[in-house]
Amino acid sequence: MATIRESDLPGIGRKFQVETRSGDLLMIIVHDSGTRELYHVMPQEPENILSRIALDDLEARQVAGIIGGLTYRPQALEALELPLEEMVIEWYKVESEHAAVDKTIRDLQVRQHTGATIIAVIEPDGTQRINPEPDQIIQQGATLVVIGRREHMQALKQLIGGEER
């Protein structure tokens, strides 16, 4: 999930800084007049602007509707949501301090302890393991693709990263 920081700009409006999972940095300034300015900046050098767009209030609302899926909803998402209903699919990056590092799926007993199911493991080198075997070792830097209900995901977070190794 993206990290969003906001701050007041007295006499101007409000600034939002969005850091995405992919490492992009987007700064949005909402002026009291209704104008919005969007800046794509270098994450390490926020003063280095890669691009800038200014939108009036109506344009900003139209773009928000497009991004938010109000005007077009991808068919793949609709098809995915119908059969899953209460189920969600989430991605978890395994960090060095997580308890899951160097353990197998069997060792962790993910399904038994959490109700969630690991449906894929993306290794740090990019190798994708779809429907991984119980003997799959979870490496530091791997990304786990997991399906389950929201309560399963909470339990999974605790199991995978809740304890120091």
Average pLDDT estimate for 91-115: 91
Beta bridge partners of 151: none
Strands 13-19 and 25-31: antiparallel
Percent of the chain exceeding pLDDT 90 equals: 45
Range 77-161 has CATH code 3.30.70.1450: yes
Give the pLDDT confidence score for residue 151 in this predicted structure. 87
Confidence of residue 154 (pLDDT cuts 50, 70, 90): confident
Which residue ranges make up each domain of the chain? 3-67, 77-161
Beta bridge partners of 148: 88
Interatomic CA distance for residues 39 and 28, integer angstroms: 6
Give the pLDDT confidence score for residue 74 in this predicted structure. 58
Q: Quick one: which of 70, 112, 110 has its CA closest to 90?
A: 110
Confidence of residue 138 (pLDDT cuts 50, 70, 90): very high
Q: Quick one: which of 135, 140, 108, 147 has its CA closest to 124?
A: 140
Q: Are 39 and 27 in contact (CB under 8 A)?
A: yes
Amino acid (1-letter code) at residue 163: E
pLDDT tens digits for range 31-42: 999 999 999 998
Does residue 55 or residue 96 have the better pLDDT? 55
